[in-house]
Structure 1
Amino acid sequence: MNTTIYYFSGTGNCLKVAKDLSEQLEDAKIVKISNKNMSYLKDTQSDAIGFVFPVYFLGIPAMLKSFIENLQINNDAYIFAIATYGGSIGAPFKEIRTLLQSKNIELSAEFAMMMPGNYQVLYPPVSPEEQTKLFKNEQEQIKSIASAVKASQHVTYKVSALINAFSKPLYSIFFKPKEKDKYFWTDEQCNGCGICSQVCPANNIIIKEGKPTWTHQCEACLACLQWCPQASIQYKKSTVNRGRYHHPEIELKEFLEREIE
């Protein structure tokens, strides 16, 4: 079965999940969802298509929503989704089902996977011990997910009626990513290396006079903050004394790859 896995990632968590899953499948490739790939509008060749993404404020990243809306998909394809989350899973699959139903396509399988939370705007990174535990669980879950995908199984992830009812209103109220970047700033450790601009999936950062400038197309993924080698990017005062996180098995070079040729 020919499988394409599209992933959105700010810290490498979803890249790791997509990569591990692709290695378990016989004929699979992975593709990054980013501003550079938003013009990729057609995939009618894949027998199976997967979307791997982090949960943002109980919902899905804005760029993932746009990508799915614009992607032309084979109606007979087996479609699956993997949501990674650090706190509450919310109801992201409901939103993806709605997006696909507008194309008369079914979401065949839904999988949720807890990974290290990385929204340092609100909380510090989880401990190394907890990270190790979550990484081990990810490896076990990937085996189960791969088996389900190979067999084209239908899998529904059940959430409570309360979460289904309140996730969308809360998401609409609190998730306004383009407004977030006005609160980013750099401390005296910034050396103008430009890595923040390179890792941003939205191409939202330009370097002016040796310092990053955010252009208000933010996805709120915090890639800029997490990958800065000097830990010099801050969000308000919240992150000044907080650690940073990106998946320890994902190198910067690999994170920057996976654009569609």
Structure 2
Amino acid sequence: MVIETDTILYFSGTGNSLQVAKDISSNLDNVWIYGLASLIDAKEIEVKSKILGIVFPVYYARLPLIVEKLVRKLKINKDTYVFAVVTYGGAPAEVLIKLRNLLHNGGRTLNSGFLLRMPANHIFAYNPSSTKKHNMVFEREKTKIKEISAVINERKDYSCERSKLLLDTIIDRVFIKTTNKIMANFHVRDEKFWVNDKCNSCRLCEKICPVNNIEFNLNNPIWKHNCEQCTACIQYCPKEAIQWGNKTKKRRRYRNPNVNIIELLRIL
């Protein structure tokens, strides 16, 4: 596959990273946004465009597995300006340094890297914040998007941002073996998903999963152990019938209010 048009590749479960990709593209000229999950089966992706962006959420101070897999497939023209934006709600640590090193190992360069706080929504661990707090985050996002877009438009080199809290980085380094183990079992952690009797077999979870990890059997969803833990299925279930172990029964769902479900269902 060949990418010749200026493009932003994004990975998004709740819509946060998709919103960021949309907002950046609206400040640039003739830039497409494209769900990277739809490219994952390509053996190699040759990038000939002038600009390539990669937008994704941070998981355990790491790249999502699917993003790492796709980045390894990129063959990027030396004249292409490459930028990345990582959305986070907790501790991003040095995730952009990890991406920069991954690109560098493949003979590619990350020209600029940005961290962008968005509403935290790790439903496996906690409830989302209030709508009021979310709106404050969205207002700050607008300001930073303008700053990011200005750097991209001028194709400036910009050092990869790191967490402002040194403790984030220290924790990441100290617990690296633990997070390595978590990431190694990421795909099969979907074994904790189940549905209660509210499920009406609407199959939205099957349609919204970006990696086609869900299929229905006798009107019940089955997770196929290729999960990216993006939480799209549990967050967008209209009946809130999907649960993860016993932790999510009383937790509120989060859906980015600036992205509609049709956009998330699109491949492009």
Contact 1:8 1:53 (C-alpha < 8 Å) held by counterparts: yes
| Per-residue deviation, residues 185-243 of structure 1 (Å, max 9, x unmatched) | 00111011111011111111001111100011110111100111111100011000011
TM-score by length of 1: 0.94
Contact 1:75 1:104 in 2 (8 A): no
For the 8 Å contact 1:178–1:220, the answer to whether it is kept is: yes
Q: Is the 8 A contact 2:93 2:162 kept in 1?
A: no
Alignment-derived partner of residue 39 in structure 2: 37
CA distance in 2, matches of 1:66, 1:221: 15
Q: Point out where structure 1 has 5 or more consecutive residues left out of the alignment.
A: none
Distance in structure 1 (CA, Å) of the matches to 2:205 and 2:52: 30
Partner residue, 2:230: 221
Q: 1:2 to 1:142 in 2, by over 3 A?
A: farther
Equivalent position of 1:208 in the other structure: 217
Aligned-residue CA RMSD in angstroms? 1.7
- Match of 2:27? 24
Q: Distance in 2 between matches of 1:164 and 1:150?
A: 33
Contact 1:7/1:15 (CA < 8 Å) preserved in 2? Answer: yes
Q: Please say if 1:253 is aligned against 2:256.
A: no
After superposing the two structures, state which structure 1 stretch, 168-177 or 81-90, moved more. 168-177
Deviating 4+ runs (over 4 angstroms): none
Using the TM superposition, give the Cα deviation of residue 163 of structure 1 relative to its aligned residue in structure 2, in angstroms. Answer: 5.6
Does the Cα contact within 8 Å between 2:115 and 2:162 map onto a contact in 1?
A: no
Find the aligned partners of 2:75 and 2:20 in 1 and give their Cα distance.
Answer: 24
Among candidates 64, 78, 83, match of residue 80 of structure 1: 83
Distance in 2 between the 1:185 and 1:126 partners?
25
2:198–2:241 Cα contact (<8 Å) kept: yes
Q: Percent identity?
A: 33
**SS state at 1:141 partner:** helix
Give the paired residue count: 258
Partner of residue 178 from structure 1, selected from 183, 187, 196: 187
Cα-to-partner distance string for 1:142-175 (whole Å, 9 max, x where unaligned): 1100000011112121454636634744431333
Match of 1:12 among 12, 15, 29: 15
- Report the counterpart of residue 122 of structure 1 in structure 2: 125
Highest relative contact order (Cα 8 Å, sep 6+), 1 or 2?
1
CA displacement at 1:245 relative to structure 2: 0.6
Q: Secondary structure at the match of 1:138?
A: helix
* 1:29-75 CA-partner distances (Å, limit 9, x unpaired): 101021x3213432422111111000101111000000100122112
Report the counterpart of residue 195 of structure 1 in structure 2.
Answer: 204
Secondary structure of the residue aligned to 2:90 is coil
- Mean Cα deviation higher: 165-174 or 226-235: 165-174
Match of 2:140 among 120, 131, 137: 137
1:56 equivalent to 2:53? Answer: no
Question: Which residue of structure 2 lines up, in the alignment, with residue 244 of structure 1?
Answer: 253
In structure 2, give the amino acid aligned to 1:251.
Answer: N
- TM-score, normalisation: structure 2: 0.91
Task: Give ranges in structure 2 of 5+ residues lacking alignment.
Answer: none
